[in-house]
Amino acid sequence: MNTLPLLLYAAAGVAYAIHFARRDQAVGRTATTLLLFGALVHTFVIGMQTMEVRHVPFANPSRAVSTFVWLLTLSYLYLELTTDERSMGVFILPVIVGLQAIPAVYPGVEYRDAVLDSPWFWIHVSSLLFAYASFGLSGILGLTYVLQFKEIKKKHLGYFYTRLPSLQVLDVMNSRAVAVGWVFLTFGVVVGAVWTAQARGIDPTDPNLQAMSLDDPKIFVAMLTWGVYSFAVVARRTLGWSGRRAAWLSALGFAFAMLNFLAINYFVTTSHTFY
Amino acid sequence: MHLFLLGVSHRTAPVDLRERLDFSSRDLSAAAEAIAHRPSMSESVVLSTCNRSEIYVASSDPAQAREELVGFLSDYHHVPAQAFQPHLFALENSAAVAHLFRVAAGLDSLVVGEPQILGQVKDAYQTAAGKQCVGPVLSNAFRWSFGVGKRVRTETALGEGAVSVSFAAVSLARKIFGRLKGRRVLVVGAGEISSLTAQHLRTQGVGEIVITSRTQANAEALANEVGGLAVPWEGMIGALGSADIVITATGSQRPIITRAQLEASHGYRRGTPLFIIDVAVPRDVDPAIAEIEQVFLYNIDDLQSIVEENLSRRKAEVERAESIVNEEVTKFMAWQRSRTAVPTVVALRQRFEAIRRSELQRLEGKLGSLPPEARARVDEITRLIVEKLLLEPTEQLKALPDEETQAAYTEAVNRLFKLTDEDSLDDTRGKRSESPKQS
């Protein structure tokens, strides 16, 4: 079911690449249309899965990835449509296509652990996925900032100079994406902690709950990610860490987030296995 | 009717001659009018910029037109004809159209791809049109040329990239700061480039422009020119602290802004970018300043090399632009030819319609007994038959490849259907009113 959105995203990716290389506005509009259409189909897929299991599908890692891709696509479309700036598409689409390939190849089955019946579960996961989507955007914005910065600083105005937005625009967008992501990350982590405390009262023998501590790699890396972004937010305001430093921080933070979301989530965690 | 062009441009004439033949400082519309009312010419557009003075006319006798135009130029500008005759270039029909399209596309400009020329071509046309000096020949060609100019700009990179130092500086500023609205500019030392750059920045909507110079009067003069604020030389370091864009252009032999000074004045605004444009030779700004993370320092050589790179990039686009122009010339000429077929097509249709009507008239006695619906049907069917018969010949006549073939076919059609016989056309009552007055 995740294959059709994947194909549409891939087609949009190709169109974004052609648009970027040739700076052809008509191809750019086609790219946006394809992406919008992909997001629409993806919404439909997620809607069906939600009806099937009666909650948004994200207890299973593959389905969580699909939901994350959907949020990332929507966030990117929001950014593109509000700023009228399409050049970032060529950077974000490989992330979208690459991640969407996971649920398309391994659809996974959504089982339901009794402990997930709480509304806290829904709030916890959706705010974290949204935070990751924001970080995804900020990571890409950071990368493009560095590309643009290099060309201007080294006085070698080339391929990216003419195609990417101004440094200021990239920096401001990056700072907003990080701030939004940080708020949702913090909220999601706090909700997770509160919910764990509550759940312990209900079923103290659940092995997942037993493992809920900083010793668990998933929780540890999540806290590390939170640390990186907290530093990014504070350093921008107090140390003047904007521009390239902020860009690198957001790329680093996103690397941690993806490490957690993919590698650790699939293979290592002992506390978040609900499938 | 022929499209004829006579003129001088930067390719054919030196600047002093171009200046003497320049119309733009005089009344362009009067000149266009004076030309259009000469015996051998029926339409005229005068295009005059600092790089060219060109007269486009519609004339039935180009040789005569040339002679009259030379006389006109000589009288109008009070320049003896022999002084400019060797520098004149004259083009006719498709060559003149091709030239016009190349001019509109910016291909014939001194700085290839410069954007002003298209507006100047449009203005020249509007001025002539305002005086009723244009007819079908020039208005078709000029209107088509606007489309060509636009097409070349959107489909090629011919007009891309700044090709002057001051524009290069402004476009860099835009890539650093995005919108320049509200940005603060400091100009140190009033010179030509700094003044031009400040003016461009002003049009981009920057906030305050602060100007300082060792000679207070120079600072004040420039401040008046760009709507800025002149401050005394001693206030330079203070102003540096709040500036986003700094332009330096003093004649100082030693750097006037050092890294230590900048760090002291800019210390509190860590993180915000600072763009320094140092156009002075020797340089005014200590090159070590470029090592500061958020400082972007460009000197005159850096800007010059950007300009050169952009120029060479534009040159690389010339071939594509030329092929667009050629393609458009071919299309335009074909369209023109299809327009010249119009009188024949109209006459042919009128002839057929006349035959149809007269036959219906002749059969009136037999058809009279039919009910009105059936009569209407007969009328409709005969009309459709005539339409169908004419469809293919019409298409063919409009799509003939060149003027010679066109003339041969027109002649043949005229003879075959006796189209020149005026009497046979009387019955048409001008049903189709397409103007046969086309060149």
Q: Which residues of A touch B298 (CB under 8 A)?
A: 155
Residue B296 phi, psi (nearest 5):
-110, 110
Q: Which residue has the higher pLDDT, A202 or A6?
A: A6
Residue contact A153–B296, C-beta within 8 A: yes
| pLDDT exceeds 50 at position A102 | yes
Which pLDDT tens digit goes with each residue over A56-95? 777 777 888 898 999 999 999 998 998 888 999 999 999 9
Q: Inter-chain contact A157–B306, Cβ cutoff 8 Å?
A: yes
8 Å CB contact of A244 and B293: yes
Is the full-model pTM beyond 0.80? Answer: no
If residue B159 lies in a helix (H) or strand (E), which one and from where to where?
Answer: none
Stated length of chain A: 275
pLDDT band at A8; cut points 50, 70, 90: very high
SS3 content of chain B, % helix, strand, coil (to 5): 60, 15, 30
The structural domains of chain B, ordered by start, are 2-155 (3.30.460.30), 165-307 (3.40.50.720), 333-434 (no CATH)
Query: Among residues B50, B260, B264, B385, which one is catalytic?
Result: B50
- Taking the CA of residue B226 and the nearest CA in chain A, the distance in Å comes to 25
A145 pLDDT more than 80 = yes
At residue B270, the pLDDT reads 65
The length of chain B is 439
Virtual torsion, Cα A53, A58, A63, A65, nearest 10 deg: 160
Asked if residue A19 has pLDDT above 80, the reply is: yes
> Chain B closest CA to A168's CA: distance in Å?
5
pLDDT reported for residue A122: 81
Q: Which of B274, B293, B301 to mutate to test the interface with A (most CBs of A within 10 A)?
A: B293
- List the 326-355 stretch of B: residues with Cβ below 8 A of A: none
- Residue A204: burial class (beta carbons within 10 Å; 0-12, 13-18, 19+): exposed
CA-to-CA distance for B184 and B163, rounded, in angstroms? 24
Enter the tokens of residue B311. 């120029």
The confidence band for A210, taking pLDDT boundaries of 50, 70 and 90, is low
pLDDT score at B402: 77
Please state the ipTM of this predicted complex.
Answer: 0.83
For residue B304, give the chain A residue with the closest CA.
A155
The answer to whether the Cβ–Cβ distance between B269 and A240 falls below 8 Å is: yes
Q: Which residues of B touch A243 (CB under 8 A)?
A: 271, 273, 293-294
In a mutational test of the A interface, the residue from B180, B266, B294, B301 whose CB has the highest number of chain A CBs within 10 Å is B294
Selecting from A169, A240, A241 the residue whose C-beta is nearest the C-beta of B178 gives A169
Cβ of B296 within 8 Å of Cβ of A152? The answer is yes
Task: Give residue B64's region: left, alpha or beta (phi > 0; psi -120 to 50).
Answer: alpha
Average pLDDT, chain A: 86
User: Residue A84 in contact with residue A104, Cβ under 8 Å?
Assistant: no
Which position has the higher pLDDT, A1 or A40? A40
Q: Which residue has the tokens 């063919």?
A: B396
Token pair, residue B295, equals: 């400082």
Q: Best of B154, B156, B170, B175 to disrupt the A interface by mutation (most A CBs within 10 Å)?
A: B175
Contact between A76 and A177 under an 8 Å Cβ cutoff? The reply is no
Q: Which residues of chain B have pLDDT under 50?
A: 422-439
**pLDDT at residue B111 in the model:** 86
Local confidence band at A112 (pLDDT 50, 70, 90 cut-offs): low
State the nearest Cα–Cα gap between B294 and chain A, in angstroms. Answer: 8
* Interface contact B293-A162, CB threshold 8 A: no
Contact yes or no for B302 and A155 at CB 8 A: yes
Could you say which DSSP state residue A76 is in?
A: H
Task: Please confirm, yes or no, whether B133 is among the known catalytic residues.
Answer: no
